[in-house]
Amino acid sequence: MSNVKIEDSWKEALKQEFEQPYFQSIATFLRKEKQKGKKIYPPGSLIFNAFNSSPFSETKVIILGQDPYHNPGEAMGLSFSVPKGVRVPPSLRNIYKELKDDLGITPPQHGDLTKWAEQGVLLLNAMLTVEHKSAGSHRKIGWQDFTNAVIRKLSEERDGLVFMLWGGFARKKKELIDRDKHLVLEAAHPSPLAGGAYFGSRHFSKANEYLQQQGKEPIDWSLD
C-alpha cells in the first residue's frame, strides 16, 4: 500500500500502518463495496483530506469526530465540516454558537472548516468512510486501528498539542494521549441530542491560551 495518496509527512509518519494487514483489508473492503454499487462517502480523493490539509509537523490542534456525514454531498474528509453551499448541520451550528459565546466570533453562513485545517487543526474522524444513509456502517472495518495509531503517533512524536474530545466516544481516546505532554480538553458532544451540555466548554480560547504558552501561533477561529 505504498501508493496511498496522502501528504508526504503523514506518509512517512504512518508508513508502518500502511503495510499492516488491517489496512490492506480496509482497501479491499472499500473496493468490493464500490464494485457492488454501494455509495461510499467521502469521495476517494477526500478520504485523507484532513491529513492533506494539516501536515504531521504542522498539526497543533486535533478535533476528533466519529464518522463522516452519510448524506450525499456532505462528507469532505474533515470532521464536522461540510462544503460551502451545503446546509450547516446541527452539531456544527452548536459549535458556531459556542465559538460566538467563547470568542465573540460571528457564525459564518457556510460549514466549510478548511480554514481551520490549513492552520494546523487536524479535523479527524475516527472512521474515515461511511456507506450512504448508514451511520456507523464502517465502524468495524479497521479504520479505528488506523486513527488510533494517528493519535498515538501525534502524542508520542509531537509536543504541546491540543486534543479536543467531544462526547463519550471521543473521550475514550484520551488513554492514547500523554497528558504530561499535551492538553486534553473534554466536553459533551455538540449534537443537539446532548441537550446543550457542550455549551460553556470554552475550548477555543483555552486552546489558544495553551498554544501561546507553548510559543505557537494561536488559531484564527473565524471562518469568513
One DSSP character per residue, the chain reads: -TT----HHHHHHTHHHHTSHHHHHHHHHHHHHHHTT--EES-GGGTTHHHHHS-GGG--EEEEESS---STTT--SSTT---TTSPPPHHHHHHHHHHHHHH-PPPPSS---HHHHTTTEEEEESSS-EETTBTTTTTTSSHHHHHHHHHHHHHHH--S-EEEEEHHHHHGGGGGS-TTTSEEEEE--SSGGGTTTTTT--HHHHHHHHHHHTT-PPP-----
Q: Is 67 annotated in the active site?
A: yes
Which residue among the candidates 67, 101, 180, 224 is catalytic per the annotation? 67
**Which residues are marked as active site?**
67
